[in-house]
């Protein structure tokens, strides 16, 4: 009997017919990635961008000029109830309305308005012209008088009504470029 290692050569005289080593497949390369990775690469940045956009949109709505102006109006009302200084209240209300207008309207359109033109501008969103023919006249007359005789709660209510007529967002995107 032949040893096992010789048995192979006797039965198989040509080396070409001998079995060869097992060849493993090539390792899977990292590029190009599978379809799922491409989708993940596209969807994740889109979701991050969407979350950021929603966060910025909510932040902008929460800090709109209208909301800031209404908050400042409430502060002025509390100051008036504490100090009862009508003349200072009228001056601050006039400044507040002017700042709100500059946030919403074109600077060239609003900044130069004074006196009657300013009051007529404030009357535009309201009915019955309460600024030019009503209690709102105090905004142009009271800062220059020694004593202020005005119904302060009614003036505060009028200013609050005017501020609530403003849109939720300013139209600064429509302003001319500098």
Domain boundaries, the chain: 34-63, 65-167
Q: How far is CA 128 from the centre of its chain?
A: 34
Identify the burial level of 97 via C-beta atoms within 10 angstroms of its C-beta, where 0-12 means exposed, 13-18 middle and 19 or more buried.
Answer: buried
Q: What is the pLDDT of residue 81?
A: 94
Identify the burial level of 152 via C-beta atoms within 10 angstroms of its C-beta, where 0-12 means exposed, 13-18 middle and 19 or more buried.
Answer: buried
**Contact indicator for 97, 116 with CB cutoff of 8 Å:** no
Q: What percent of the chain is helix, strand and coil (3-state, nearest 5)?
A: 65, 0, 35
List pLDDT tens digits, range 156-172. Answer: 999 999 999 987 655 54
> Which three-class secondary structure state does DSSP give residue 94?
helix
The backbone torsions φ and ψ at residue 139, rounded to the nearest 5 degrees and listed phi first, read -65, -30
Q: What is the pLDDT of residue 140?
A: 87
Q: What is the pLDDT of residue 175?
A: 46
Give residue 59's pLDDT band: very low, low, confident or very high (50, 70, 90).
Answer: confident
Statement: the pTM of the whole predicted model exceeds 0.75: no
Q: Which helix (H) or strand (E) holds 5?
A: helix 4-11
């Amino acid at each position: 009997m032949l040893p096992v290692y010789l048995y192979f050569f006797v039965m198989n005289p040509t080396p070409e017919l001998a079995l060869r080593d097992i060849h493993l497949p090539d390792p899977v390369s990292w590029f190009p990635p599978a379809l799922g990775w491409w989708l993940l690469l596209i969807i994740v940045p889109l979701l991050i961008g969407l979350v950021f956009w929603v966060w910025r949109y909510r932040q902008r709505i929460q800090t709109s000029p209208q909301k800031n102006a209404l908050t400042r109006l409430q502060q002025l009302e509390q100051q008036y109830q504490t100090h009862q200084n009508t003349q200072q209240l009228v001056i601050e209300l006039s400044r507040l309305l002017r700042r709100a207008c500059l946030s919403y309207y074109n600077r060239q359109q609003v900044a130069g308005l004074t006196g009657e033109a300013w009051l007529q501008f404030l009357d535009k969103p309201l009915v019955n012209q309460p600024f030019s023919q009503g209690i709102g006249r105090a905004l142009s007359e009271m800062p220059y008088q020694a004593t202020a005789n005005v119904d302060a709660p009614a003036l505060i209510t009028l200013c609050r009504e005017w501020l609530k007529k403003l849109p939720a967002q300013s139209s600064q995107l429509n302003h001319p470029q500098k």
